[in-house]
Amino acid sequence: MDPKLLLVEDEPEMLEEMHTYLQREGFRVLTACTGKEALAIARSERPELVVLDWMLPEKSGIDVCRELRQTSHCGIIMVTARSDESDKIVGLEIGADDYLTKPFSLRELSSRIRALLRRLHGPEDRSMLERDNLIISESKCQVFMDGKEIQLTPTEFKILYTLAARPGMVFTRLHLLKVALEDEYTGYERTMDSHIRNLRRKLGDDPANPRYIQTVYGFGYRFGERS
C-alpha cells in the first residue's frame, strides 16, 4: 500500500501544490492547515510521515512535533522559512528527523520524504543487537532497556544502531550524519551533537561519564565496548 503522508501548511496555494505533486508521485496525502487539526488527523489516521510547517495558527509546528513524539513513531520533516542553524537544532532536539528550508523544490521535498521512509522501513532482512542491558531490533526499529521500550526517532535509531553494531569503533560526526540521513544530509555537523544529546537523555547516559555513547574528543563518537 502506498505510504500515507500528512502535509501541514497554512498557505493554501503551497499546500495544494504539495498535495497535487505528491499524489502524482504515488503517495496517499492528507492535509491540515492548523496545528490542532494536524494533531487530530494524526491521531485518527496514523500517517507514516508528517511534513510540518514551523509557523502555524492555533498551535505551532514545534508544539505539534513535541506532542506527536509523545505518541507516535512517524517520521517528521520540519519545513520553515527560518534559515539559522540554531533554529534547525531546536527542531531536531524536539524530535524532528529532517529539516527543509523554504523555498524548496517539490522534487527535493519528494526526495527527502522517500529518504526518510527508507530509514523508517528498511529491508526486511535485519539483525538484532544485544549490548549490555540494551536490545536493539533493526527489523522493528525498536530499542529495549531492561525489557522496557525506549522511544527513539528514526534518525536517533539509525545513529544508535550504527554505533552499537561496532562497539569501540570511532565514527566522525560527518560519517554519522551521512549514515543517518543518507543522501539528504545537510553537512551541518553540529546537528549530530543534538541527536547525541537526545540519545543520551533517553538512554539515561551521563554525559560526563557515558556508559553507551562515548565522546572521542577531536574525532567523534563510539559505543562503549562493555557487553
User: Residues near 211 by Cβ (< 8 Å), separated by ≥ 6?
Assistant: 132, 203, 205, 224, 226
Angle at CA of residue 82, ends 202 and 87, nearest 5°: 25
Cα–Cα distance between 185 and 164 in angstroms, integer?
A: 21
Q: List the helix and strand counts (H, then E) for the chain.
A: 8, 12
Q: Which domains does the chain have, with CATH numbers?
A: 4-121 (3.40.50.2300), 128-223 (1.10.10.10)
Q: Does the structure show a pLDDT above 80 at 191?
A: no
Q: Is 7 helix (H, G, I), strand (E, B) or coil?
A: strand
Q: DSSP letter at 81? A: S
Torsion of CA 142, 212, 159, 103, to 10 degrees: 110
Over residues 151-168, the pLDDT tens digits come to 998 889 999 999 998 888
pLDDT of residue 117: 87
pLDDT of residue 124: 44
pLDDT of residue 139: 78
Over residues 113-144, the pLDDT tens digits come to 988 888 777 544 456 888 888 889 887 788 99
pLDDT of residue 108: 92
Highest mean pLDDT among 4-18, 71-85, 119-133: 4-18
